[in-house]
Copies of this chain bind each other. A is one copy, B any other.
Amino acid sequence: MAAPLEIASSSPRARQALEHAERLCQERGVRLTVLRRRVLEIIWSHARPLGAYAILDVLRDDGRAGAPPTVYRALDFLLEQGLIHRLASLNVFTGCCQPDRRHGGQFLICRDCGQVDELNNTQVECLLNDEADARGFEVLTQMIEVLGRCPNCWQGVTHRAG
């Protein structure tokens, strides 16, 4: 089992993402509660996407009581607000880099180290929308997951955790 690298929650990108989330939620009139904020922080504080139960473990380390629904409800909220994405192929969750813009995710997922890179290729998005239109299909969300090996891993400099 890969032990995800914990990153200081005060890392620039984590702090920035949290501030951004606070602002967005305020604008939208929805509540980024302590729990929801903490779950988002946990996600952003790790180098690799986490599963729900891994997040739950971290919450328990915090000393907080918790069962699966605790985490899943927080994740549902964050997903609804577009603050995180779910990678269906791995059953894990990762922070969204553009929570302002509604979009399905486009991800490069490293099979070896689990690292994830988010793309934002609007041309791909449009092509798929066009194909759907042509078939009279109404698009709600797009989900693109490209599985492969990141530069570090195929160059032999494996950063495999564990």
Query: Is B145's CB under 8 angstroms from A88's CB?
Result: yes
Which among A108, A117, A138 has the highest number of chain B CB atoms within 10 Å? A138
Segment at the B interface, from A8-16, A55-63, A126-134: A126-134
Cα distance, A123 to B149, chains bound together (Å): 22
Query: Is A132's CB under 8 angstroms from B149's CB?
Result: no
CB 8 Å contact bits of A120-162 with B (1 = contact, 0 = none): 0101100110011001111111111111111100100000000
A45-83 interface with B by 8 A CB criterion? none
Chain A contact-residue range equals: 20 to 34
How many identical subunits does the complex contain?
2
A100-134 interface with B by 8 A CB criterion? 104, 106, 108, 110-111, 117, 119, 121, 123-124, 127-128, 131-132
Query: Is A128's CB under 8 angstroms from B121's CB?
Result: yes
Cα distance, A110 to B145, chains bound together (Å): 19
Q: Which residue of B lies closest to A139 (CB)?
A: B148
Chain A residues proximal to chain B, CB less than 8 Å = 88-89, 104, 106, 108, 110-111, 117, 119, 121, 123-124, 127-128, 131-132, 135-151, 154
